[in-house]
Amino acid sequence: MGDECATARGAGPRVGAGVQDGRVSEHATGPTTPPGRRTAVVTGASSGIGEATARRLAAAGYHVVCAARRTERVEALAAEIGGTAVTCDVTDPASVAGLASTVGSLSGGRLDLLVNNAGGAFGGAASVAEADADAWRAMFEVNVVGLMEVTKALLPALVASGAGAVVNVGSTAGRLAYEGGAGYTAAKHGTKVVNETLRLELYDQPVRIMEVAPGMVRTDEFALNRFDGDRAAADAVYAGVAEPLVADDVADAIVWMATRPAHVSIDELVIRPKAQAHQHKVHRVLPDRPSADDDSLGD
Ligand SMILES: NC(=O)c1ccc[n+]([C@@H]2O[C@H](COP(=O)([O-])OP(=O)(O)OC[C@H]3O[C@@H](n4cnc5c(N)ncnc54)[C@H](OP(=O)(O)O)[C@@H]3O)[C@@H](O)[C@H]2O)c1
């Protein structure tokens, strides 16, 4: 699909190659970045916040490298927005090396923006006493280790741009604790701390390190993945909330952060729906419970 796009637009040759599980595949497709155009990488671009961010960045003039594990989805998105699709598992160093190699061939080794968005919550609302260790490992792998792998691989290109920017997608879960959420809150606290550490380590380098921390965002897959496909449990997260954030609200914030002047670092930006005054204080209008404090997992 990406090839068809490149051919149909006459936009340029196939570039680089996608790597899945360390194997080179044929999924990195799309045009090269035209001279003078900024390049952005968005991880987790196959759905939700990442997909919306890729769309907004393309509209803002970026050539967007759309990275995720689901090839068909990133290819379709890249074809639509004139970007480049890369099949990438952020937890696999060989796969991330493939992403870095694609960025190198696209833009001469310069990268203007990295949005570390790939992430998620798994294991339902289990207490620590009942926690599934595999779910905890998976959350740490994608929200912390994956972020480190991608940042490490792309840092030279960000520095080479002379004015690089990183927006890490954290969460309000990285700022507090709530019952049944320890695996995810621990992982997102990890995202926050890596963000802070990077800013210290790179204080004299031309790269801004920023974090957006959303509260409740109604995306198609986040809560469904958290509850292992249980639709009723996923829907309950948003029950009675008139207007949760949507992916595009967060994408809008990310693009705003990224497009401030190079000397302006929006270190941390917390964004919640108006209805979510705090994690346990969500305005819900339900037939049997007109308005209540609750133990929402909306983050
Ligand atoms: N929704 C919320 O309420 C909310 C609130 C606060 C923060 N967040 C954070 O926002 C980010 C996006 O969430 P979302 O709501 O948009 O959820 P989503 O639709 O489930 O998006 C998660 C994305 O991450 C990708 N991903 C997962 N594991 C990956 C891996 N190993 N390698 C590469 N990509 C991977 C998925 O793509 P593939 O499966 O195709 O790889 C998908 O595109 C996450 O970091 C999440 O923690 C969400």
- Residue 35 — very low, low, confident or very high, per pLDDT cuts 50/70/90? low
For residue 26, pLDDT beyond 50: no
Of 2.60.40.1930, 3.30.530.20, 3.40.50.300, 3.40.50.720, which CATH number belongs to 2-282? 3.40.50.720
Q: Which atom of ligand 1 is nearest to the CA of 91?
A: 31
3 state DSSP class of 280: coil
Section 60-89 average pLDDT:
98
Mutate to test the pocket of ligand 1, among 69, 168, 245 (most ligand atoms within 8 A of CB): 69
- Residue 288 — very low, low, confident or very high, per pLDDT cuts 50/70/90? confident
pLDDT value of residue 165: 98
Mutate to test the pocket of ligand 1, among 55, 88, 219 (most ligand atoms within 8 A of CB): 219
- Residue 129 — very low, low, confident or very high, per pLDDT cuts 50/70/90? very high
Q: Which of 41-45, 87-91, 283-287 has the lowest average pLDDT?
A: 283-287
pLDDT value of residue 298: 82
Q: Whose Cα sits closest to atom 14 in ligand 1?
A: 48
Report how far residue 41's alpha carbon sits from residue 188's, in angstroms, rounded to the nearest whole number. Answer: 21
- Residue 107 — very low, low, confident or very high, per pLDDT cuts 50/70/90? confident
Contacts 24+ apart (CB under 8 A), 144-147: 144/187, 144/190, 144/191, 144/194, 145/91, 146/43, 146/89, 146/90, 146/91, 146/116, 146/118, 146/119, 147/90, 147/116, 147/118, 147/119, 147/191, 147/194
Section 158-177 average pLDDT:
98
pLDDT value of residue 123: 98
Report how far residue 121's alpha carbon sits from residue 223's, in angstroms, rounded to the nearest whole number. Answer: 8
H or E segment to which residue 35 belongs: none
H or E segment to which residue 9 belongs: helix 2-9
For residue 119, pLDDT beyond 60: yes
pLDDT tens figures, 222-278: 999 999 999 999 999 999 999 999 999 999 999 999 999 999 999 999 999 999 999
Count of alpha carbons within 13 angstroms of residue 97, beta-carbon side: 7
- Residue 293 — very low, low, confident or very high, per pLDDT cuts 50/70/90? low
Distance 32 CA to ligand 1 centre (A): 26
Distance 151 CA to ligand 1 centre (A): 17
> Is 231 in contact with 239 (CB distance < 8 Å)?
no
Q: Which atom of ligand 1 is nearest to the CA of 298?
A: 3
Section 84-107 average pLDDT:
97
Does the annotation count 62 as an active-site position? Answer: no
For residue 47, pLDDT beyond 70: yes
- Residue 5 — very low, low, confident or very high, per pLDDT cuts 50/70/90? very low
pLDDT value of residue 177: 97
Distance 127 CA to ligand 1 centre (A): 22
For residue 33, pLDDT beyond 70: no
Q: Above pLDDT 70, what percent of the chain?
A: 86
Q: What is the mean pLDDT of the chain?
A: 89
Q: Which atom of ligand 1 is nearest to the CA of 172?
A: 6
| Sign of the four-CA dihedral 10, 12, 13, 19 | negative
pTM for the complete prediction? 0.91
